[in-house]
Every structure is written in C-alpha cells, then in structure tokens.
Structure 1
C-alpha cells in the first residue's frame, strides 16, 4: 500500500493506502465547492505533488493558485456543480506520515463498510513538533 506521492513510480506495483474525507461547507460559485480543512502538505520541496489530491467524486481539481489550505480546500470543475453542503469529498494524501500527525484515528474500510478504527501516533499522545 502507498500514498499518492508514489503514483509515478514504475518499479513496483502498489495500491492506494490512505484517504482523507472532507465535508463541503460552502458553495461560493456554481462550479466551486469549499471543503473544511485539508491542507496537509507532505514534507519535502514545495510543489503540487506534495498536496492532497481530490479523487472522489471524480473530476474535482483543486482551485488553481489556492491548492489545499489548512482552513479550507476549494475544488472546482463540472463535478463541483453536484456537490451540496454536507457532502463529502475524498482526497488521497501525498504522504501518510503528515496525515497521521494531524488526525487522532484512522477508520479501516473494506468495500463500503468500516471494519475497524485504530489510533494514529497522535491519537496515542505521541505527536511530533
């Protein structure tokens, strides 16, 4: 299993490992939806490859110059037209470590069912920095 940063590697096969699900909290324009939080950029050289990437619903790019923000993350595109306040947008994180530094627990999902809940190191009181 691997986070999104490894998608470009061709020397091994992998499956996506972690998603973060953000609620839609505002609709500022017909083709723009604002999600709560989500700006957990991966460590390393700054770049778009270090940002979480919206994956579901399909066809929701991040809003141009904004990227993913700590307070809000805006998505745009035709698919944004169907989003309503309270809907959820699924993002793949670039690196799993930064995600686990920000959340207390992970839900383990099989198909459409939550099968377990496990604490992250932050949830165990071991957050860094």
Structure 2
C-alpha cells in the first residue's frame, strides 16, 4: 500500500507559479525534460533543487560560493558535480543527509577518487 503524502506535498495543493523565460532557454529546458522523461515543471523543479544542494555541498566541504577550484577539464568537473549532487539528493530523500554522511559518500565515489588522484 502506498504511503499518503502530506497535504502540502500533493500536486493539487501547490499553487501554480507563472514563470517568464526567453524562448531559447525554454527550448533547452523542454529538450532536457524530454531527455530525462520529465514534464517541463518537473525539470525546472529538479534543476532548482540541485542548485540548492550545490550550496549544501559547498558548506559541507567547508567552502563557499566564492571559492572555486582551478578547472582544467570542465566536462569532468560537471560530471562529478552531478554525481555528487545525485548522492546528496539520495541521502536527503532517505532523511540521512548530514555533512558527515556526505563526506563519507563522496570519499567512496570512484570517479571522484580517480580525479583527486590526478596531480595538476
């Protein structure tokens, strides 16, 4: 039997929010939504949630938005960042998110260990 969602989490209880965006941005978000099998709304919400998780990750690492590591391979950095954010979302969904748990999870990620082993 499925668990009932709290009233504030039901779709019917969430008031609509109008959003203006440039046509090119809308097209890119629609393409991403289709690729990810999500509605336009779900894609926007997912991307917003990830942006907030990014801030949590910076705080957990003891950094700030102003501190940026040197970037040599942007694709690799973005790929790893998405993996880390997925792990943070997974921990948060299970109610297990904490800076300590996040540090442990990140330390166990093979792609991150491989990248950290590389010397500049």
TM-score range, shorter chain: under 0.3
Answer 1 or 2: which has greater helix percent.
Answer: 2
**Looking at CA atoms only, which structure, 1 or 2, has the larger radius of gyration?**
2
Answer 1 or 2: which has greater strand percent.
Answer: 1
TM-score when scaled to structure 1? 0.23
Greater RCO, 1 or 2 (C-alpha within 8 Å, sep 6+): 1
TM-score when scaled to structure 2? 0.24
